[in-house]
């Protein structure tokens, strides 16, 4: 059983974390551990038709935001890593500076020290030099910055298709291959690519 930590923070785009939980429910071999920031709880209500309880019900385990004694706060608790979707600048700052006063940053810091994947779906624009410096520092620490940039080659027909493509590509980084991801110029088995 693979374990993946999913954190939803207060940045706009809580649907990315929600869809990640939905998509992971279809994977029998993935156990999800959810952390919601207080700001995420408010943003979920503002941006989506979901209640906070409905989002929590999508996860296999839910950890309190301030519980730094949770299982996922220890490197001895094995996980594939952590997806922060969306990732606010405040959370990015905490991860970049190892300021682990709450569980989201602590769990990310643990994953990084154990050399596990931490993928930050950063949601902010435009960016100033301080934001860019934080991204560089988080990257130096081992995190992967992955803003949810739409892949128009997938020709999404709905907003959810666009969200699912971004989430699916983020989950690729944990070696979780979902059939919803449209691959660039993917050929069917037995098909031959045309020669130029």
The CA-based angle 62-168-36, given to 5 degrees, is 20
The pLDDT assigned to 185 comes to 80
pLDDT, tens digit (0-9, with 9 covering 90-100), for 64-123: 999 999 999 999 999 999 999 999 999 999 999 999 999 999 999 999 999 999 999 999
The domains found in the chain, sorted by start residue, are: 2-172 (3.40.50.1950)
Q: Is the pTM of this model over 0.85?
A: yes
The pLDDT assigned to 27 comes to 94
Share of the chain above pLDDT 70, in %: 94
């Amino acid at each position: 059983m693979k374990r993946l930590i999913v954190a939803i923070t207060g940045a706009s785009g809580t649907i990315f974390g929600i869809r990640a939980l939905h998509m992971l429910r279809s994977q029998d071999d993935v156990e999800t551990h959810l952390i919601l920031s207080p700001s995420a709880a408010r943003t979920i209500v503002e941006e989506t038709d979901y209640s906070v309880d409905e989002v929590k019900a999508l996860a296999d385990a839910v950890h309190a935001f301030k519980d730094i004694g949770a299982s996922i706060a220890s490197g001895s608790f094995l996980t594939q890593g952590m997806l922060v979707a969306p990732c606010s600048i405040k959370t990015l700052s905490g991860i970049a500076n190892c300021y682990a006063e709450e569980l989201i940053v602590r769990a990310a810091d643990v994953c990084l020290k154990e050399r596990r994947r931490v993928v930050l779906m950063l949601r902010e624009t435009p960016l100033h030099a301080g934001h860019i410096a934080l991204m560089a520092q988080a990257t130096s620490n081992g995190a992967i910055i992955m803003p949810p940039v739409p892949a128009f080659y997938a020709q999404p027909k709905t907003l959810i298709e666009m969200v699912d493509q971004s989430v699916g590509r983020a989950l690729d980084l944990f070696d979780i291959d979902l059939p919803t991801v449209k691959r660039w110029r993917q050929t069917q088995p037995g098909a031959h690519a045309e020669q130029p």
